[in-house]
């Protein structure tokens, strides 16, 4: 090879590498951006954040920005087709004692692995000191283009196995806290989901005129509106049957999604069904019952399990956080005693 041709060969090689780089860069840009948020969970004192309301009791929830210095007040988000949804969940313990919390993430009403850790988790238990705030980063990836709903359910004292009537009644109405939002990915249209089952009016409840006292969700063992609190299931057959009672005192029809959990793992509403979500519609100013079944194989042996059902109103719709009709309802914790008597 003559030396005078060497500079031209170097230039050709450089141009070749440049074209390969440009091709790969364009190819990468067509894929979803896979950069995830940091997986570090951060604890800090509430006094360092001016958006935390001052209180001596209770728990506060919110979505905050990456720097943790601003509360995100919107509930409906839009992302591009190649974008991952990265946000941070903030939980504040405003009590004067430490509190245990369990966080359960739902994507489109189903429990998913999105929480930080060595491996992504579908539930996360944390302990928060008095007047402490914790920041939990999360990433939601591989979403199809279109409209999606995300929810965090937060259970306090999640492993309490107290079977007393007093404790079980105390969980009614205060069983779970929640925060909910929507993600519209690469689309200007809302989801056109319409697979709602029309639930029949429960005539027994209406005849007793109890619909006025039922707005939301209540688990019972029979037609009477007596809360199902606990049950010894050791000698039961393969299935435990009950009623999921739903009341709607609003002046408009309501669509809803119902999901159930045993020890904070999602299970089917009906033991013979693979579906873990029931989508329904209930008429205005009425109530209805859905038959529920628990597969005994899902109940921990020689132990006490907690069973909970949640009702998420108006699925696949943009959320108005100021409208209480969008609030998630939860049943009390039902204690399932699978110990030998």
Q: What is the pLDDT at residue 191?
A: 65
Tell me the pLDDT tens digit for each residue of 100-119.
Answer: 999 999 999 999 998 886 66
What pLDDT does residue 106 have?
A: 97
- Confidence (pLDDT) at 201: 65
**More confident: 315 or 119:** 315
pLDDT of residue 14: 42
For residue range 163-182, what is the model confidence (pLDDT) as tens digits?
999 999 999 878 899 999 99
Domains annotated for the chain, with CATH where assigned, are: 42-185 (2.60.40.10), 197-337 (2.60.40.10)
276-288 pLDDT, tens digit per residue, is: 999 999 988 888 9
pLDDT in tens, 109-153: 999 998 886 667 899 999 999 999 999 999 998 899 999 999 999
pLDDT at 1: 45
Q: Is residue 127 within 8 Å of residue 191, measured between CB atoms?
A: no
Q: What is the number of other CB atoms lying within 10 angstroms of the CB of residue 36?
A: 14
In this predicted structure, the answer to whether residue 9 has a pLDDT above a threshold of 60 is: no
Lowest mean pLDDT: which of 118-127, 190-199, 258-267? 190-199
Three-state SS letters, the chain: CCHHHHHHHHHHHHHHHHHHHHHHHHHHHCCCCCCCCCCCCEEEEHHHCCCCCCCCCCEEEEEECCCCCCEECCCEEEECCCCCEEEEEEEEECCCCCEEEEEEEEECCEECCCECCCCCECCEEEEECCCEEEEEEEEECCCCCEEEEEEEEEEECCCCCCCCHHHHHHCCCCCEEEEEEEEEECCCCCCCCCCCEECCECHHHHHCCCHHHCCEEEEECCCCCCCCCEEECCCCCCEEEEEEEEEECCCCCEEEEEEEEECCEEECCCCCCCCCCEEEEECCCEEEEEEEEEEHHHCCCCCEEEEEEEEEECCCCCCCCCCHHHCCEECCCEEEECCCC
Can you give the pLDDT at residue 38? 52
The edge-to-edge listing of strands for the beta sheet with 85-93 is 42-45, 132-140, 85-93, 59-64, 71-72
The 10s digit of each residue's pLDDT in 291-304 is 999 999 889 888 99
pLDDT at residue number 37: 46
Residue for token digits 């060595």?
118
How high is the mean pLDDT of the chain? 84
């Amino acid at each position: 090879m003559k030396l005078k041709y060497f500079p031209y060969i170097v230039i050709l090689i450089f141009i070749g590498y440049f074209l390969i780089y440009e091709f790969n860069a364009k190819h990468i840009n067509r894929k979803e951006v896979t950069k995830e948020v940091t997986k570090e969970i951060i604890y800090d004192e509430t006094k360092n954040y001016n958006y935390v309301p001052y209180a001596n009791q209770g728990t506060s929830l919110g979505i905050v920005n990456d720097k943790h210095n601003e509360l995100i007040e919107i509930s409906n988000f839009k992302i591009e087709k190649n974008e991952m949804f990265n946000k941070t969940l903030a939980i504040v313990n405003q009590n004067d004692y430490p509190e245990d919390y369990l966080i359960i993430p739902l994507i489109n009403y189903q429990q998913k692995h999105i929480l930080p850790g060595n491996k992504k988790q579908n539930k996360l238990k944390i302990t928060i000191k008095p007047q402490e705030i914790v920041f939990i980063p999360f990433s939601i990836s591989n979403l199809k283009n279109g409209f999606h709903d995300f929810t965090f359910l937060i259970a306090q004292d999640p492993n309490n196995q107290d079977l007393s009537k007093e404790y079980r009644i105390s969980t009614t109405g205060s069983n779970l806290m929640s925060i909910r939002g929507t993600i519209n990915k690469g689309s200007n249209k809302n989801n056109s989901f319409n697979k709602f089952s029309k639930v029949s009016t429960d005539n027994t409840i209406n005849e007793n005129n109890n619909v006025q006292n039922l707005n939301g969700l209540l688990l019972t063992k029979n037609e009477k509106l007596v809360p199902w609190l606990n049950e010894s299931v050791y000698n039961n057959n393969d299935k435990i049957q009950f009623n999921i009672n739903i009341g709607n005192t609003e002046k408009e029809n309501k669509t809803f999604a119902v999901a159930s959990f045993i020890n904070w793992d999602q299970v089917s509403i009906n033991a013979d069904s693979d579906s873990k979500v029931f989508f329904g519609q209930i008429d205005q100013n009425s109530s209805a019952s859905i038959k529920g079944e628990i597969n005994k194989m899902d109940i921990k042996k020689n132990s006490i399990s907690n069973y909970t059902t949640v009702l998420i109103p108006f699925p696949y719709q943009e959320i108005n956080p100021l409208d209480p009709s969008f609030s998630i309802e939860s049943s009390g914790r039902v204690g399932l005693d699978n110990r030998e008597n």
